[in-house]
């Protein structure tokens, strides 16, 4: 699944020096295309929103039945509630709970989760990060459409043992002016680094790190899709 042509030593050195790294052409070509097709055609997306310190989920069937006006009003409500508070709105498929419950038998993402937590992949992560504390991988599929966003936060949940966050990007030909860009924020609140969601790239960064995903513009021509999560102890 993972490309055999990665310069793992260089990526590890960059991660250890900067706290973040992006690897291009991360997956084998066939694997990247197959995952893109899965996210495009097969995943039953739920809409997750956080507003006024509460998280709620609009299930895939409810989302499919929602008319455009109702959907737009919901996003405006969440965006308004984001003033001065942590908030987000984006679509997701929570891979670990779905796997545990046995949801959607036959969905490729279940096999992906098994691979991510296989001994072979964990050993690869030890080599990639230089960190032997990694024991498991949490994962969710994400889809950002116009009006979706993720405000600044740092993923610091000590009880979950988060060591590194990752984003496996699966949208082709993304453009910077569509938004949906991963920004890293310094201690003064300024953007210090940006990674585009380049197709078949893996973005990896140390936890805690302040970051955000910028608002996806109304003129974005396709959704921003990825598999994201954390490498955990």
Residues 6+ apart with CB under 8 A from 183: 191, 193, 194, 211, 212, 213, 214
Q: Which of 161, 158, 155 is nearest to 204 (CA)?
A: 155
- Whether the Cβ atoms of residue 182 and residue 141 lie closer than 8 Å to each other: no
Considering the domain 8-232 in this protein, what is its CATH number?
Answer: 2.60.120.620
Query: What's the CA gap between 93 and 102, in Å, rounded?
Result: 13
pTM of the predicted structure, to 2 decimals = 0.95
Average pLDDT, the chain: 96
Give domain limits for the chain. Answer: 8-232
Q: How far apart are CA 103 and CA 30, in angstroms?
A: 25
Q: pLDDT digit of tens for each residue in the chain (233 aa)?
A: 999 999 999 999 999 999 999 999 999 999 999 999 999 999 999 999 999 889 999 999 999 999 999 999 999 999 999 999 999 999 999 999 999 999 999 999 999 999 999 999 999 999 999 999 999 999 999 999 999 999 999 988 767 899 999 999 999 999 999 999 999 999 999 999 999 999 999 999 999 999 999 999 999 999 999 999 999 99
């Amino acid at each position: 699944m993972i490309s055999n042509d990665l310069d793992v030593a260089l990526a590890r050195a960059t991660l250890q020096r900067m706290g973040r790294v992006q690897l291009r052409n991360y997956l084998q070509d066939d694997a990247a295309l197959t995952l893109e097709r899965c996210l495009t055609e097969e995943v039953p997306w739920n809409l997750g929103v956080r507003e006024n310190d509460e998280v709620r989920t609009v299930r895939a069937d409810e989302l499919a039945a929602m008319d455009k006006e109702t959907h737009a009003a919901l996003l405006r409500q969440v965006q308004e509630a984001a003033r001065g508070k942590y908030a987000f709105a984006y679509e997701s498929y929570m891979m670990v709970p779905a796997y545990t419950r046995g949801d959607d038998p036959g969905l490729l993402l279940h096999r992906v989760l098994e691979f991510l937590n296989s001994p072979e992949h964990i050993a690869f992560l030890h080599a990639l990060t230089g960190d032997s504390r990694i024991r498991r991988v949490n994962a969710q599929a994400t889809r950002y459409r116009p009006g979706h966003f993720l405000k600044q936060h740092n993923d610091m949940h000590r009880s979950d043992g988060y060591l590194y966050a990752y984003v496996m990007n699966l949208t082709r030909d993304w453009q910077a002016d569509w938004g949906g860009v991963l920004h890293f924020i310094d201690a003064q609140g300024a953007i210090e680094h940006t990674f585009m969601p380049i197709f078949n790239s893996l973005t990896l960064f140390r936890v805690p790190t302040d970051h955000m995903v910028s608002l996806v513009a109304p003129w974005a021509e396709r959704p921003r899709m990825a598999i994201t999560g954390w490498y955990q102890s």
